[in-house]
């Protein structure tokens, strides 16, 4: 059994891209019996979120979303990053060994600077805190996307530097790259991303979802004309929700003509509701218990602290603290 660790920033509403790009895969790994740890990265979110009430609300919303979509707190250790202050302690120890050049080469920091983010120490040192998140749990595998792969390489570099200085304390975690999901298009045809303002949220109200689905940008091909399904935003989104038989039927309808984009959008909306209405009902039920999320996080805190304690005992002894 491999220990798999992943984190999610509570920096906004989760959307269809988040579900098919990450959540669904995490639930499948959990149900396959892997040793799963997942944390709500509220320290990391502070690099962009400057509203305490919003951060607390977002943290709760993310937990509800994951639980509604199948994350089981009996099988997965689900905890708040801030409930494990040892992470910050370990980040300091790693910072004392981290070359400036290692961080200066990180593409993510350069990209955020190019997009107008404030050049803060928190943003610059983000990979060190991420390394502490990973190493403190003695993680074997870390699911990463393209934009985070370099940060895992930083984690491995810092673990090796620490081991070279103080002895073999940390294992070197590997990237877990799940089976790639095709690019998930947003309502404008670009990649679905909060940065592009083209997302469809997992649990926004049904009227809003319908408006967004029916407003997905399409070309001007007449209804009676044949259409190419591959690469079409509606078809690509439909593939995520529908059965293989339904996908084949829509593709045939596209190719033979007499099938408009309006028909396809209605089919997409129906498929979404079939998959997500049970999740929505579960989320609403969980939200009615104001103490439930906090109970889940408190139990996750206890289990996370238990898992982190042996590592931190070795680290403190090694560094002389």
The CA distance from 145 to 154, in Å, is 15
Instruction: Kindly state the DSSP code that residue 191 receives in the 8-state scheme.
Output: B
Tokens 């985070």, residue located:
148
Q: What is the dihedral of CA 73, 74, 75, 77, to 10 degrees?
A: 50
Beta bridge partners of 76: 36
Contacts of 50 (CB under 8 A, 6+ apart): none
Contact 318, 166 (CB under 8 A): yes
**Residue positions annotated with a catalytic role:** 112, 191, 194
Helices 233-241 and 244-256: crossing angle in degrees, nearest 10, is: 160
Q: Distance (Å, rounded) from C-alpha 44 to C-alpha 112?
A: 14
Question: HSE-up of 86 (CA within 13 Å, CB side)?
Answer: 21
DSSP per-residue codes, 244-312: HHHHHHHHHHHHHS---HHHHHHHHHHHHHHHHHHHHHHHHHHHT-TTHHHHHHHHHHHHHHHHHHHHH
Report the chain's C-alpha Rg in angstroms. 22
The 141-143 sheet, strands edge to edge: 76-80, 35-40, 3-8, 141-143, 174-176
Q: Are strands 3-8 and 35-40 parallel, antiparallel or unpaired?
A: parallel
Token digits of residue 218: 């399409």
State how far the Cα of 82 lies from the Cα of 92, in Å rounded to an integer.
15
């Amino acid at each position: 059994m491999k220990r798999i660790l992943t984190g999610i920033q509570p920096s906004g509403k989760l959307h269809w891209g988040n579900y098919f790009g990450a959540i669904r895969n995490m639930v499948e790994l959990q149900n396959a019996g892997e040793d799963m740890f997942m944390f709500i990265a509220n320290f990391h979110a502070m690099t962009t979120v400057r509203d305490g009430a919003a951060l607390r609300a977002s943290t709760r919303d993310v937990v509800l979303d994951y639980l509604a979509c199948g994350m089981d707190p009996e099988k997965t250790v689900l905890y708040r990053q801030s409930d494990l202050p040892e992470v910050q302690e370990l980040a300091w120890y790693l910072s004392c060994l981290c070359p400036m050049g290692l961080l200066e080469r990180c593409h993510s920091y350069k990209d955020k600077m190019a997009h107008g983010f404030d050049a803060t120490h928190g943003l610059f040192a983000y990979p060190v805190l991420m390394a502490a998140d990973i190493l403190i749990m003695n993680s074997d595998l870390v699911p990463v996307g393209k934009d985070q792969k370099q940060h895992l390489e930083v984690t491995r570099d810092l673990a090796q530097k620490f081991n070279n200085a103080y002895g073999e304390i940390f294992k070197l975690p590997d990237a877990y790259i799940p089976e790639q999901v095709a690019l998930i298009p947003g309502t404008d045809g670009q990649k679905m991303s909060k940065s592009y303002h083209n997302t469809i949220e997992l649990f926004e109200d049904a009227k809003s979802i319908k408006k967004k689905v029916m407003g997905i940008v399409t070309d001007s091909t007449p209804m009676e004309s044949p259409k190419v399904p591959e690469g079409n935003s509606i078809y690509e989104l439909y593939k995520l929700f529908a059965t293989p038989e339904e996908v084949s039927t829509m593709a045939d309808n596209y190719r033979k003509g007499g099938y408009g984009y309006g028909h396809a959008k209605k089919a997409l909306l129906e498929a979404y509701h079939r998959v997500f209405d049970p999740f929505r009902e579960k989320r609403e039920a969980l939200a009615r218990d104001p103490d439930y999320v906090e109970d889940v996080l408190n139990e996750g805190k206890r289990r996370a602290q238990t898992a982190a304690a042996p590592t931190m005992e070795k680290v403190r002894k090694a560094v002389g603290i």
